Structures are given as C-alpha cells and as structure tokens.
Amino acid sequence: MRTAILVAALLGVSACAEPIEDREPADTEPLAPATNVPAITPRVALVPGVIDDNLRRERNLMGELGCVFRRGQETLFAAVANSANIESAEGLVVIDGQPIEVEMDGSGGYNSLQSAASFTGDNGIEVEIAVSEEAEIRETPAPATGPAPMEATMTLSRDGQQVSVEGRYECGPQPDA
C-alpha cells in the first residue's frame, strides 16, 4: 500500500511540473554571440626518426656505396649512390614518423656524397650534412669497410623551421637488399 501511495504521489508531482525546455533560466546572462576565430593549425615539429634495415629495403634504398648519419647507434639518415652513376644520390630520412625520400642537390654521385651533401625532398624538406673541421673519428680497430667515420651535423629544414643533430657520418659499402 505504501508503495502505491508513493508511486501516485510521484506521478502527481511530475504531471504538475513544467517541461524543462519551457522554463526560463534563472539568474543567467545571455550567451555572447559567436565570433569567427580563425582555427590555429599546430606546426608539426621536425623530429628525426630512426631508419632500420627493413625500412631501407622497403624503400629500395640499397646500393653498393653509400653513407649514413648516426646519433649513437640510431641511423637518422641514409643515402646511396652506385659507383657507375656520378649524376646523383638518393637518400631517406624519417621526420615526424614519416619516411621521406630525398635526392642529392647537384651531381657528383658517391664522391660528393661522402664529402657531405645537401638533399631536397617532397613537402619542402631539406637535409644538409656538414662534416666538422676535425672530421675523422679515430676508432680502434679502424673500420674495415671504408673511410673512418666523421663528426658531422645533420640539419633538417622545412617551412622556416630548422633542427640540427650532432652525430657521425659513415660512408662505404652498404648492406645488400
């Protein structure tokens, strides 16, 4: 019996109440008109990523001679040039998680590649490898695969943004596909 009275009372109260959409808000200020604020597009930072052998094979960046830029044990840039081709060299860099293929500016093939070079790719990306004055890094034992690694700086540029990474530039025979 108590339950029936309670249900009847609740039904009576809800029947007398005003619908929510008909009520006027109490003590609130009217909303300000919407303004057209331009959307802010965040600029993507130039974050270099790691290139592994699988990515190099996938992008067909294998050749008899080439160079890599490393920070510690991480390969951040790779480029190849065949000895028979003195025209150009192809490279690969990962920026913001996306692999980007680049081509060496100018000609000279492997000879130009090993003395450091500039590359340009899609979306205005530019990669510059600059070998320092001290250049050679002395290793014991000396590398058996080619010239000694060199101290270098890799600079990535796009749309007025620029980031530089210190590391080493190693050139010589490259792994097979």
Q: What is the pLDDT of residue 100?
A: 93
- Total count of domains within the chain: 1
With beta carbons less than 8 A apart as the criterion, state whether 150 and 169 touch: yes
Domain that holds residue 110: 48-171
| Spatial separation of the C-alpha atoms in residues 108 and 81, rounded to whole Å | 9
For residue 32, being part of any structural domain is answered with no
Q: How confident is the model over 93-118, as pLDDT tens digits? A: 999 899 999 999 987 788 888 877 89
Q: How confident is the model over 130-169, as pLDDT tens digits? A: 988 655 555 444 445 556 788 999 999 999 999 999 999 9
For residue 113, being part of any structural domain is answered with yes
Place 88 in a pLDDT band, splitting at 50, 70 and 90. Answer: confident
Q: What is the pLDDT of residue 54?
A: 85
pTM (2 d.p.): 0.67
User: Within the chain, how many helices (H) and strands (E) appear?
Assistant: 3, 9
| Proportion of the chain above pLDDT 90, given as a percent | 29
With beta carbons less than 8 A apart as the criterion, state whether 98 and 136 touch: no
For residue 54, being part of any structural domain is answered with yes
Q: What is the pLDDT of residue 112?
A: 81
For residue 109, being part of any structural domain is answered with yes
For residue 160, being part of any structural domain is answered with yes
Amino acid letter at 170?
A: E
For residue 100, being part of any structural domain is answered with yes
For residue 41, being part of any structural domain is answered with no
| Spatial separation of the C-alpha atoms in residues 145 and 142, rounded to whole Å | 9
